[in-house]
């Protein structure tokens, strides 16, 4: 499992110009089974994505296609975890 910690490198108003395209990218990856959770940081400075069932190379390729990255408004800190336990209903995290 990968945790992708996104951090905005441009002002929020500039980031939000690409929000619709970024959300479409998130939806497409979720529908493909690569992203199982996504959310915005509070206060808004970035966000988090949880990716499962992918390799590091696939995560890197996925990130490279994110409009936030292609437009230069955010960056990701990618961390890999080997999950050993998940609550009932959260089994996708073990993939």
pLDDT in tens, 33-83: 999 999 999 999 999 999 999 999 999 999 999 999 999 999 999 999 998
pLDDT at 92 over 80: no
- pLDDT for res 89: 80
- pLDDT for res 41: 95
Q: Which residues contact 19 (CB under 8 A, 6 or more apart)?
A: none
Mean pLDDT of 8-16: 97
Alpha-carbon distance 92 to 95, whole Å?
5
**What's the topology of domain 2-81?**
Alpha-Beta Plaits (3.30.70)
pTM surpassing 0.75? Answer: yes
Alpha-carbon distance 10 to 30, whole Å?
25
pLDDT class for 4, splitting at 50, 70, 90? very high
- pLDDT for res 86: 81
pLDDT at 91 over 80: no
């Amino acid at each position: 499992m990968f945790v992708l910690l996104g951090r905005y490198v441009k002002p929020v108003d500039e980031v939000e110009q690409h929000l619709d395209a970024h959300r479409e990218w998130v939806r497409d990856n979720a529908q493909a089974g690569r992203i199982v959770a996504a959310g915005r940081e509070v206060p808004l400075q970035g966000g988090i994505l949880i990716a499962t069932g992918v390799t590091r190379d696939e995560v890197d390729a996925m990130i490279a296609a994110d409009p936030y990255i292609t437009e230069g408004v955010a960056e990701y800190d990618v961390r890999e975890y080997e999950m050993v336990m998940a609550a009932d209903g959260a089994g996708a995290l073990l993939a």
